[in-house]
Amino acid sequence: MRLRKLKNSKELIDNSKYIVLNPSEYKGEWKKVFNNSNPIHIEIGMGKGKFILENAIKNPNINYIGIEKFDSAISRAIKKIENYKLDNIRLIRIDAEELSNVFNSEVDTLYLNFSDPWPKDRHEKRRLTHKHFLDIYDIILKNKLIIQKTDNRKLFEYSICSLVDYGYKIEKISLDLHKDSQDIVTTEYEEKFMKIGPIYMAIYKK
């Protein structure tokens, strides 16, 4: 269910120092945004920002960029992030289709956390692990590393086939992440659904 829009969401988005309002201007030059050459990790569909915020706090020598297309989610992420003074996190309000207009072989790691499974066959091309998006990731990734988490078994199986067919190798896989590991940075969605069923995780490297 989509989040209700905050009354002051436009003001939050327009005035936050964590938002990059014209991201295409920095294509190939994201080190200027962060004033360093540290690795860049991006999360597509960051929701309310819990995952990317906690990673930024935990790893100050990595730059994190949250990608989100909905004002309702990104405004809530801003409110959460602005409780901290962090130099290694930025947010972008775009659709994943636009990523190749924003980055050029400068992203080290890409996170796909609980992406919409788009279960109907006619919507297959909308899945973030479809070849259409893998082509885009090939343009933006410097190190071809993708980390996926999902609670949807069919999407997970589809993604494994799609990425392996595209040339990725599976570096690590878990069919029940929270049973196999302890030190896990979770998303808001994950906190809820890990109590209902298993969380699937895979690390893909090309």
The C-alpha angle with vertex 130 and arms to 205 and 171, in degrees rounded to 5, equals 20
Q: What is the mean pLDDT of residues 183-190?
A: 92
Q: What is the pLDDT of residues 94-112, one digit of tens each?
A: 999 999 999 999 999 999 9
- Weakest mean pLDDT among 9-13, 138-142, 169-173: 9-13
Q: Give pLDDT, residue 5.
A: 58
Q: Which two tokens stand for residue 3?
A: 């989040």
Q: Give pLDDT, residue 10.
A: 76
Under the banding of pLDDT at 50, 70 and 90, the label for residue 1 is very low
Highest mean pLDDT among 45-49, 67-71, 168-172 belongs to 168-172
* CB burial of residue 8 (10 Å; 0-12, 13-18, 19+): exposed
- Is position 116 annotated as part of the catalytic site? yes
Which domains are present in the chain?
31-205 (3.40.50.150)
Q: Give pLDDT, residue 184.
A: 94
Using CA atoms, how far apart are residues 62 and 39, in angstroms rounded to an integer? 5
Check 87, 95, 116, 135 and give the catalytic one: 116
Q: Give pLDDT, residue 4.
A: 56
Q: Which two tokens stand for residue 137?
A: 């990731």
What is the b/e burial string over 76-95, where b = at least 16 CB atoms within 10 angstroms of the residue's CB? bbbeebeeeeeebbbbbbbe
Under the banding of pLDDT at 50, 70 and 90, the label for residue 7 is low
Q: Is the pLDDT confidence value at 152 over 60?
A: yes
